[in-house]
Amino acid sequence: MTGISKSSVSKLCKDIDERVNAFLKRPLSGSWPYLWLDATYLKVREGGRIVSVAAIIAVAVNTDGKREIVGLHIGPSEAEPFWTSFLRDLVRRGLTGIKLVISDAHEGLKAAITRILSAAWQRCRVHATRNALAYVPEGQHTMVAAAIRQAFIQPDHDNAVQTWRHVADQLRVRWPKLGTFMDNAEADVLAYMAFPAQHRTKLHSTNPLERLNKEVKRRADVVGIFPNEDSIVRLIGAVLLEANDEWQLLSRYMQVEAMAELNPPTVEEETTLQITPRAA
């Protein structure tokens, strides 16, 4: 563009900021059983030097099966205070009912999830498998990956755990460190298996956010190095706002019928259901 004045640019930025901030700070209502968190790393100028920061995108699904982008936060992704602050802000805005959080293994995140959300954590299965393959020679990657996948095709959590432990015991004979890794990762990698079968294909990894992250990176790569964090929020927030609007036009992201399995009726409710028809 040519011939555009500084005042016009300032007004344009102000208008974008108002829309983006209203979107990112909007109140959230209802119950949101599933929350995905994923980080995109960007370069920004800070104190006369160039540093890398994480742009954390939060996506949640409500009990109506609809998916929404619910948050964006900029900061050091490994720091527990960062995650605590972000999750508290989401809760303050009305994000409640979280049953499972899906993300990569960021240091400090798991403790923040337990403290703030009282939810289970699913470690991204795809990235965990890549981490596991780092313990074996490249020529053995296909075989080891196939062995690990046996746990993921089981019909329920108990069988998945049993298979995971069996595979770990087989592999530790040749690669003890891999066996130890699998022992430590078991609960986090298989957490999604305790949830409704209809939802599991979208719960085991952060892959459902892959297309969104690609669009964010495509726009960010044009900038290269951001002048400050506000400019990151302005650009990335605008991308997220556009994507969220598109999502609202689509059909449900998850089957709503299976949501009932997440909140089984209490003893009192079951008793009421049994008594009411007789009373009628």
CATH number, residue 20: 3.30.420
Answer yes or no: do 177 and 248 share one domain: no
Evaluated on CA atoms 212, 218, 224, 229, the torsion sign reads: negative
Structural contact between residues 54 and 75, judged by C-beta atoms closer than 8 angstroms: yes
Residue 108 lies in a domain: yes
Confidence of residue 279 (pLDDT cuts 50, 70, 90): very low
pLDDT at position 9 over 70: no
Confidence at residue 47, expressed as pLDDT on a 0 to 100 scale: 84
Task: Note the pLDDT tens digit of each residue in 223-238.
Answer: 999 999 999 999 999 9
**9-36: average pLDDT:** 87
Asked which of 85-89, 124-128, 215-219, 259-263 is least confident by mean pLDDT, the reply is 259-263
Residue 275 lies in a domain: no
| Cα 137 to Cα 213: distance, rounded to the nearest angstrom | 30
Answer yes or no: do 67 and 29 share one domain: yes
Out of 174, 189, 204, pick the residue that ends a domain.
204
Answer yes or no: do 108 and 79 share one domain: yes
By CB atoms closer than 10 A (0-12, 13-18, 19+), residue 266 is exposed
Confidence at residue 186, expressed as pLDDT on a 0 to 100 scale: 97
Token duo for residue 238: 């605008």
Answer yes or no: do 94 and 60 share one domain: yes
Answer yes or no: do 98 and 220 share one domain: yes
Confidence at residue 276, expressed as pLDDT on a 0 to 100 scale: 52
Evaluated on CA atoms 166, 170, 173, 179, the torsion sign reads: negative
By CB atoms closer than 10 A (0-12, 13-18, 19+), residue 75 is middle
Out of 156, 175, 204, pick the residue that ends a domain.
204
Residue 19 lies in a domain: yes
pLDDT at position 14 over 70: yes
- pTM, two decimals, is 0.88
Confidence of residue 272 (pLDDT cuts 50, 70, 90): very low
Which residue segment(s) compose the domain that 17 sits in? 11-124+206-262
pLDDT at position 100 over 70: yes
Answer yes or no: do 105 and 165 share one domain: no
Confidence at residue 165, expressed as pLDDT on a 0 to 100 scale: 97
Answer yes or no: do 159 and 169 share one domain: yes
Residue 158 lies in a domain: yes
Query: First CA to last CA across the chain, in angstroms?
Result: 72
Answer yes or no: do 115 and 140 share one domain: no
Residue 277 lies in a domain: no
Answer yes or no: do 29 and 66 share one domain: yes
Answer yes or no: do 162 and 231 share one domain: no
Residue 1 lies in a domain: no
pLDDT at position 274 over 60: no
Confidence of residue 280 (pLDDT cuts 50, 70, 90): very low
At 31, is the secondary structure helix, strand, or coil?
strand
> For a pLDDT cut of 90, what percent of the chain falls above it?
72
pLDDT at position 74 over 80: yes
Answer yes or no: do 189 and 141 share one domain: yes
Residue 6 lies in a domain: no
Structural contact between residues 242 and 235, judged by C-beta atoms closer than 8 angstroms: no
Token look-up 């964010």 returns 216
pLDDT at position 146 over 50: yes
| Cα 195 to Cα 244: distance, rounded to the nearest angstrom | 25
Quote the number of domains for the chain.
2
Mean pLDDT (the chain, rounded): 89
Task: Note the pLDDT tens digit of each residue in 168-191.
Answer: 999 999 999 999 999 999 999 999
| Cα 266 to Cα 110: distance, rounded to the nearest angstrom | 29
**CA dist 205 → 66, 68, 128, 255, 260 (Å):** 18, 17, 9, 18, 22
Residue 176 lies in a domain: yes
Single-letter residue type at 66: K
Structural contact between residues 227 and 40, judged by C-beta atoms closer than 8 angstroms: no
Answer yes or no: do 18 and 111 share one domain: yes
